[in-house]
Amino acid sequence: MKSETVIASAPAKVILFGEHFVVYGKPAIAVAIDRRVYVKVGIREDRKLYIRSLSLEISGYFQNEKFVLESGKESAEEKFEPIRVVAEKLLEASNKDVGVTIEIDSQIPVAAGLGSSASVAAATATALNHLLNAELSREEIFRVTFEAEKLIHGTPSGIDPAIATYGGAIIYRKDEGFQPINIEFSVPLIVGDTGLERSTGSLVAHVKQIRNAYPEIVNSIFEAGEKIVEKAVQALKEGDLEVLGRLMLINHGLLFAIGVSHEKLDKLVHAALRAGAYGAKLTGAGGGGCMIAIAPSKLVDQVISSIEQAGGTAFSAKINVEGARIEN
């Protein structure tokens, strides 16, 4: 067993098309972006599972099925529970009777639709797999990450753990899993954050409620979402940014129609369009969190400035990056 510390990282994700519709068997397109979570792990002789989040400023440890808060908010135990599950699965797989220290340093906004929880789980699993010589395959890392996500989101689609583990760009369908998409050109992507945290679970429940009330109408919206994804895959393969932009706007309109947008999201979308973006839409669950835009390369800075003037924070992002990996 290695005695040194190990650092692993995993990427954030954005859903380009198909969020919410994917829960009902429709396809979605997601990509890894170059914001990452870094997790440092080490062995402890006291058998404690000690976890510290630098970005959330919370820390504490699990021992004998009890949680002891060291610093930060009382909600630390709830936030750390998925990480505990990951650590216990890796310890079980390695057959090691030790404690571990897990330190999380994230570049990804929390509860913003960028998959931060899956990134933490995938990076933790990857780091502990290496530290403990557990010899889990990448597919098994994905499964562990997916199990952790279920604790947070109830019935997650699987997109976030897939992107965090494997990286790249994928088309995902619930019944069929995911297939990689080969994107051979640069997509000038901008991410705008409203700063509003929201609950994926409550928004998924809201869509279910709307669908139960108006099944024929909402099912038609889901069908339209599927057609958007089909055309978007073709546009991605051909490098047609203008078509991608138009499809983004249509997708945003459908998401607005089922009640998962937000006044601030709409404001940032319009700000991006005013600055010359080809298109923009919310990404992830909605209700706050982030939006994305595609713009001509020469206008990226202008779009970022416009989003920030409208009250968001924004950054440009590279897509199609590597999944969970060891850093040292």
**Active site annotation includes 46:** no
- Written in H, E and C, the secondary structure of 136-198 is CCHHHHHHHHHHHHHHHHCCCCCHHHHHHHHECEEEEECCCEEEECCCCCCCCEEEEECCCCC
Q: How many CB atoms lie within 10 A of CB 64?
A: 6
Tokens of 181: 């998409």
Which residue in the list 160, 175, 193, 240 is annotated as catalytic? 160
For residue 171, give the nearest of 246, 241, 236, 111 by alpha carbon: 236
43 contacts 98 by C-beta, under 8 angstroms: yes
> Which residues make Cβ contacts (< 8 Å) with residue 134, sequence separation at least 6?
90, 93, 94, 128
DSSP 10: E
- Helix intervals (H) in the chain: 76-94, 116-131, 138-153, 159-166, 200-213, 215-238, 241-257, 263-274, 300-309
User: Across the strands, what pairs with 326?
Assistant: 8
- Cβ count near 40 (within 10 Å): 21
Active site residue ranges: 160
